[in-house]
C-alpha cells in the first residue's frame, strides 16, 4: 500500500509536474494582482504589497526553473559517477552509516566505489548525499525499496533543487546592484543557458551542491 502511494506521488511530481505548474500560475496571478492595485496612502498595505511582490517573484523563479529541469524526463545519470550520491542517503537514513554495504549491485571493482575497512564506500565526498537527506527522508521512511525505479527521481529532484536555489541566491545577490528585472533575467540565463541545466540539474554530481554553497 505504501509503495502504491509513493508511486502515485512520484507519478504526479515526476511526470505531470502539476505542483510546479500550480506554483507558476499562482505566483504569476499573485504578482499581476498586486501590480494592478492602485497606489494607496496606507503604509501597512504598501509594505505588504512589496513583500508579496518579492515573494511571488522568488516563487516564480524557482517554479519556472524546476519545471524546465523536469520536462526533459532525464532521471539520474546512467554512469557510475553519481551512484554513491544516489544511494548513500538511503544508507544514512536507514542504517545510520556512510557505507554502501546494503547495495550488492554497487560492490564491484569499479571507479566509483572502493573497500575500506571491510566496508564498501563511495570514492566521492559525502557532501552531496548529506544535502539530499531532506528529499530522501520521507520516501525512505515510508519504505521506499533500494531497487525502486523512483530512487533516481529523488536524485534528480535534489540536483534540480540545488541548482534552482543557487539561481535564486544569484538573483538575490545581483538585485543589490541591478534592477529586479535584470537580476531575474540573469538568474534565468544562469539556470538555463549553462551546464547547470544540461548536466547538473539532472544528476547529483559534486558540481551542483558546490554551486549551491558558493552562491
Give the helix ranges, DSSP H, for 12-42. Answer: 18-36
Q: Which triple of cell numbers denotes residue 12?
A: 504526479
Q: Which triple of cell numbers denotes residue 10?
A: 512520484
Instruction: Give the pLDDT confidence score for residue 212 in this predicted structure.
Output: 85
Q: Total structural domains in the chain?
A: 1
Instruction: Give the pLDDT confidence score for residue 190 in this predicted structure.
Output: 94
CA distances to 86, 87, 136, 145 from 153, in Å: 9, 12, 10, 13
- 3-class DSSP state for residue 21? helix
Instruction: Give the pLDDT confidence score for residue 38 in this predicted structure.
Output: 44
Instruction: Give the pLDDT confidence score for residue 73 in this predicted structure.
Output: 64
Q: Please say whether the beta carbons of 177 and 166 come within 8 A.
A: no
pLDDT tens digit string along 141-165? 888 888 888 888 888 889 999 999 9
- DSSP-derived secondary structure for 74-112: --S-SSSTTHHHHHHHHHHHHHSSS--TT-GGG-SSSSS
Confidence of residue 47 (pLDDT cuts 50, 70, 90): low
Non-local CB neighbours of 33 within 8 Å, separated by 6+ positions: none
pLDDT cut 70: percent of the chain above it: 71
Instruction: Give the pLDDT confidence score for residue 29 in this predicted structure.
Output: 57
pLDDT tens digit string along 164-201? 999 999 999 999 999 988 999 999 999 999 888 888 88
Instruction: Give the pLDDT confidence score for residue 168 in this predicted structure.
Output: 93
Nearest Cα residue to 128 out of 76, 59, 71, 169: 76
Q: Which residue has the higher pLDDT, 5 or 71?
A: 71
> Which residue range(s) make up the domain with 5?
1-214
pLDDT cut 90: percent of the chain above it: 20
Q: Which residue has the higher pLDDT, 130 or 72?
A: 130
Amino acid at each position: 500500500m505504501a509503495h502504491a502511494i509513493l508511486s502515485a506521488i512520484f507519478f504526479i511530481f515526476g511526470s505531470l509536474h502539476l505542483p510546479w505548474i500550480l506554483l507558476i500560475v499562482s505566483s504569476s496571478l499573485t504578482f499581476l494582482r498586486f501590480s494592478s492595485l492602485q497606489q494607496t496612502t496606507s503604509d501597512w498595505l504598501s509594505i505588504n504589497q512589496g513583500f508579496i511582490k518579492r515573494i511571488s517573484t522568488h516563487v516564480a523563479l524557482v517554479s519556472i526553473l524546476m519545471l524546465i529541469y523536469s520536462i526533459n524526463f532525464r532521471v539520474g545519470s546512467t554512469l557510475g559517477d553519481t551512484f554513491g550520491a544516489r544511494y548513500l542517503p538511503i544508507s544514512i537514513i536507514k542504517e545510520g552509516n556512510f557505507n554502501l554495504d546494503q547495495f550488492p549491485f554497487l560492490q564491484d571493482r569499479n571507479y566509483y566505489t572502493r573497500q575500506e575497512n571491510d566496508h564498501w564506500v563511495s570514492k566521492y565526498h559525502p557532501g552531496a548525499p548529506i544535502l539530499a537527506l531532506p528529499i530522501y527522508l520521507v520516501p525512505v521512511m515510508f519504505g521506499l525499496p533500494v531497487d525502486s525505479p523512483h530512487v533516481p527521481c529523488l536524485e534528480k529532484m535534489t540536483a534540480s533543487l540545488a541548482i534552482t536555489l543557487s539561481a535564486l541566491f544569484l538573483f538575490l545577490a545581483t538585485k543589490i546592484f541591478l534592477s529586479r528585472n535584470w537580476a531575474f533575467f540573469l538568474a534565468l540565463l544562469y539556470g538555463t543557458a549553462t551546464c547547470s541545466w544540461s548536466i547538473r540539474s539532472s544528476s547529483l554530481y559534486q558540481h551542483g551542491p558546490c554551486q549551491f554553497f558558493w552562491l
